[in-house]
Amino acid sequence: MAQVPLDMKVVDECRRLAASIADDVQRFIDKHTTVGVERTVARAFGIEGVDDQGIPLVNMLVDRIHAQKLLGRGVAFFLGRELLRGAPNLQDAAERLAYGRSEITGEGPETEAQINAVLEQGVKTALKHMDDARDTREAMKARLGMADNPWKYVIVATGNIYDDAIQAKSAAHGGADVVAVIRATAQSLLDYVPHGATTEGYGGTYATQENFKIVRRALDEASEEFGRYCMQTNYSSGLCMSEIAYMAAVERLDMLLNDSMYGILFRDINMQRTFVDQYFSRRLIARSKIIINTGEDNYLTTADAVDAAHTVLASQFINEAFAHRAGVADENLGLGHAYEINPWLEDSFLLELSQAQLVRQIFPNHPIKWMPPTKFKTGDVFHSHVHDAMFNLVGITTKQSIELLGMFSEAIHTPLLMDRYLSLKSTKYIYTAAKHLGDEIEFKKDGIIETRARVVLNEAVELLTTVQRDGIWDSISRGAFADVKRTLTGGKGLAGVVERERAYVNPILSMLEGGAA
């Protein structure tokens, strides 16, 4: 494969700076929990159900503990104590606490050791559910086989999960390797996960555990019918990031959109809340060997793709550092970027090729997520189709791993089945016709592509130096990424962040961090 010469000392310095940035945030993470983390722990213990108003039991449980200013002990502490006091199981313990049949206080004779001991079987069962789902998925992939990279990734978004399942199978029939059900507009801002199957959603379909199950079943059927494994993805972001990660883990999803800063920048979710939630979500993801897709592509929707290219690369280094601290292996760390340079700019194709080659070389073991043009799409479907074709050509030339296919009707309406079929057909043609193009070419020494790659890398190390000096908290506040400014105490969800007490109990997190079976 063609290579651009890179100064690996600069690459190493970028990683060193990103590691320092992540370490600073990790010290904060290790001292805090959130309502989202604690609800996830409760879900992992098998606690389920809603009240007559549709409020999840895990929300009522955690909110009641939080209202008493005791969440810093951890929801597991109170569940374990209820077991020691006679509750027959964890579900009953949760109901006693949530519905007020048991008093929530910080006092009691029970020791931390006693609580951990009584929860031991519940922890083993929680991890076994995730492990069994992971093993089933990996066995199915091995039996049916996987398509070559780049994987063709398409979206469905009807609002009705049953229609989504039909469209998912149709996409697989047309050649899709990955199918994503777009999440309903603004679900990331809900501080609860809707329950059950849903048939209405604006701009997409709600991410729920039952919805995950329905689409997984449809794609399993398609995989068996077409003799190749078809992957499922959804969105683990927002105020319920870790809960969705857990549900995805037990329902055998293959990929999750999961970013360290996306919610902060693009959904105005408090940065303290986001950093703590993303760590726990990634611990679950790492255990389940789910591939994550990070969200650097979004930077180029708010900032210029030429001027801000280095911010994408800098963020990729930071996302990598955060993921490593949560135990995510490189082969499951799908760093994101996008084809968003103004197509009418002279040599825009060469600049896009340079950026894609740069990312591919710096992160050779990562399943890179490559996003299509959207910013400069118009109602001209013919030009849109050509624009996507240029994107596909770069993708196959630089051997991107996961390619979200562009749709020629992107700027007009939610893509129809025929739109998706034509996109898959065009992509298949280009992937076949130019399959070994990257192996046959060389880049001109000191040419446009090589020079551009060098400039972006040098600008990235300069930005990381500044972020490391100022701290990521202040850097985000001044708009270092995507030209978006957020403050330490601003945004949604800050009230759900709690400092851990000295006797904080979270045996599931402890097992995930320890890598225990």
Q: Model confidence at 507, in pLDDT bands (50, 70, 90)?
A: very high
Point out the catalytic residue in the list 277, 297, 388, 419: 297
Count of structural domains, the chain: 2
State the residue range of the domain holding 278. 144-449
Say whether both 165 and 88 belong to one domain: no
Q: Burial of 128 by CB count in 10 Å (0-12 exposed, 13-18 middle, 19+ buried)?
A: exposed
pLDDT of residue 517 exceeding 60, the answer is no
pLDDT of residue 141 exceeding 90, the answer is yes
- The average confidence (pLDDT) of the chain is 95
Q: Model confidence at 516, in pLDDT bands (50, 70, 90)?
A: low
The per-residue pLDDT for range 428-467, each reduced to its tens digit, is: 999 999 999 999 999 999 999 999 999 999 999 999 999 9
The per-residue pLDDT for range 384-410, each reduced to its tens digit, is: 999 999 999 999 999 999 999 998 888
Average pLDDT over residues 283-296: 96
- For residue 76, tell me if it sits in a domain: yes
- For residue 454, tell me if it sits in a domain: no
- For residue 422, tell me if it sits in a domain: yes
Distance CA 254, CA 225 (A): 19
pTM (predicted TM-score): 0.95
- The pLDDT value recorded for residue 382 is 93
Average pLDDT over residues 107-136: 95
Say whether both 188 and 320 belong to one domain: yes
Say whether both 179 and 223 belong to one domain: yes
- The pLDDT value recorded for residue 416 is 80
Say whether both 80 and 160 belong to one domain: no
Say whether both 253 and 282 belong to one domain: yes
The per-residue pLDDT for range 44-87, each reduced to its tens digit, is: 999 999 998 899 999 999 999 999 999 999 999 999 999 999 99
Point out the catalytic residue in the list 246, 262, 431, 504: 262
- The pLDDT value recorded for residue 515 is 61
Cβ within 8 Å of residue 447, ≥6 positions away: none
The per-residue pLDDT for range 315-332, each reduced to its tens digit, is: 999 999 999 999 999 999
Say whether both 163 and 116 belong to one domain: no
Say whether both 53 and 172 belong to one domain: no
Say whether both 333 and 410 belong to one domain: yes
Distance CA 71, CA 504 (A): 9
The vertex-228 CA angle with 224 and 231, nearest 5°, equals 95
Point out the catalytic residue in the list 369, 377, 399, 492: 369
Output the CA–CA distances (angstroms, integers) from residue 491 to 277, 304, 473, 507, in the order listed: 15, 25, 13, 30
Say whether both 166 and 310 belong to one domain: yes
pLDDT of residue 270 exceeding 70, the answer is yes
Distance CA 11, CA 108 (A): 53
The per-residue pLDDT for range 165-202, each reduced to its tens digit, is: 999 999 999 999 999 999 998 999 999 999 999 999 98
Q: Model confidence at 413, in pLDDT bands (50, 70, 90)?
A: confident
Say whether both 320 and 179 belong to one domain: yes
Average pLDDT over residues 260-280: 96
Average pLDDT over residues 354-363: 98
Say whether both 77 and 188 belong to one domain: no
Output the CA–CA distances (angstroms, integers) from residue 134 to 137, 141, 254, 368, 484, in the order listed: 5, 11, 9, 21, 37
Task: Verify whether residue 262 is a known catalytic residue.
Answer: yes
Comparing C-alpha atoms, which of 240, 312, 324, 255 is closest to residue 283?
A: 324
Whole-number percent of the chain with pLDDT over 70: 99
The per-residue pLDDT for range 207-248, each reduced to its tens digit, is: 999 999 999 999 999 999 999 999 999 999 999 999 999 999
- For residue 227, tell me if it sits in a domain: yes
Distance CA 415, CA 156 (A): 8
Task: Verify whether residue 246 is a known catalytic residue.
Answer: no
As a whole number of Å, the CA-based R_g of the chain is 23
- For residue 456, tell me if it sits in a domain: no
Task: Verify whether residue 162 is a known catalytic residue.
Answer: no
- For residue 514, tell me if it sits in a domain: no
- For residue 131, tell me if it sits in a domain: no
